[in-house]
Amino acid sequence: MEKNPAVLYGEIVSRAWDDEVFKKRFLNSPKEVLKEAGIPVEEGVEYKVIETPKLVQYLVLPHEKQKEALQKLAKLILGGAERGAPTMPEGIEFRVIQNTSSVRYLVLPASPGTLTDVELEMVAGGGKVQFMVQATVAAAETVNVAHGAMAAAAVDVASSAVCAVGCVLCI
């Protein structure tokens, strides 16, 4: 049975956290590493890895169907605000980047080895992490439609694998 690309990407992220040589190779040659892991890649497209610092969440917009992705994000933010939920977890910085027809961004979250106070609070649960979880689910659906299995795998794993520690969010 073939492994899900999301699981394979999670293994790449985990290995990059544990092996500095592998991490450098992934940062420098992501397409090669993805292929070796058995994750399909698009020919003629460059893959770039964004290494995220702690307490930074990346929102990676698809190069197609941006309107749908932004509408889902807006609905999540507005829905939370209407319920009185915090729009963003305290201490988290969001950065937005958009894929293009020739470049796909992959997010390499900061290692969860040492958690900050904000991350510990998020791991403990509470409403602050709810926005990220909902956004991750909506994002994966949007990217799946826009980019196919590889992009969805990157989103699913990058966001779900580390969403609990507040390191990444992709749409």
- Going by CATH, does the domain composed of 5-163 fall within 2.60.40? no
Distances (CA, A) of 90 to 53, 55, 74, 82, 138: 16, 10, 19, 18, 22
Classify 65 in phi/psi space as left (phi over 0), alpha (psi -120 to 50) or beta: left
- Could you read off the pLDDT of 1-21 as tens digits, one per residue? 678 888 999 999 999 999 999
- What pLDDT is recorded for position 115? 60
Per-residue pLDDT band for 46 (boundaries 50, 70, 90) equals very high
**Residue 63: pLDDT above 60?**
yes
- What pLDDT is recorded for position 25? 98
Question: What integer is the mean pLDDT of 62-85?
Answer: 80
Q: Answer whether 23's CB lies under 8 Å from 16's CB.
A: yes
Q: Answer whether 69's CB lies under 8 Å from 139's CB.
A: yes
Q: How far apart are CA 171 and CA 165, in angstroms?
A: 17
Q: Answer whether 143's CB lies under 8 Å from 92's CB.
A: no
Does this model's pTM top 0.85? My answer is no
- Could you read off the pLDDT of 93-146 as tens digits, one per residue? 888 889 999 999 999 998 887 566 665 565 555 544 444 444 444 444 433 333
Domain boundaries, the chain: 5-163
- What pLDDT is recorded for position 32? 97
Among 62, 77, 81, 78, residue whose Cα is nearest residue 132? 77
